[in-house]
Structure 1
Amino acid sequence: MDECAQTSAEFILLFGGIFVVVLLVIYMYNNYMNDLGGEINSKEVNEFNSQLKTLKNYFK
């Protein structure tokens, strides 16, 4: 009986540890995607501004 309880407790600890690691990975991935989105938007805005400046030269 004691071995079954110990095995169950070890499985609970194992799955709990895996669950914590998965939550940390999801949190880090979410932060990474948010930062990446900001960089993409910033890059697109800079390119758009550059193209507007180029067009402005044609209308002087």
Structure 2
Amino acid sequence: MDNKAQASAEFILLFGGIFVVVLLAIFMYKNYMNDLTGEISSKELNEFNSQLNTLGRYFK
């Protein structure tokens, strides 16, 4: 009877550890995607400003 309880406790600890690792991976991936989104927006904004400056030369 004692061996069954120990096996159950070990499974609970194992699944808890896996759960923590998955949560950390999701958190890190979320931060990575947010940083990537900021870089994409910044790049698009810089390209848009460049295009406007190019068009502005034609109207001077």
- For Structure 1 versus Structure 2, the TM-score category normalised by the shorter chain is over 0.9
How far residue 6 of structure 1 moved from its aligned partner, in angstroms, is: 0.8
* 1:7-45 per-position Cα deviation (integer Å, ceiling 9, x unaligned): 001100000000000110010011001101100000000
The amino acid across from 2:31 in the alignment is: N
Which residue in the other structure is 1:53 paired with? 53
The two structures have a TM-score, normalised by structure 1, of 0.97
- Percent of residue pairs identical: 80
Gaps of 5+ in 1: none
1:29 corresponds to 2:26: no
Report the number of matched residues: 60
Displaced runs of 4 or more, over 4 A: none
Q: Which amino acid aligns with 1:58?
A: Y
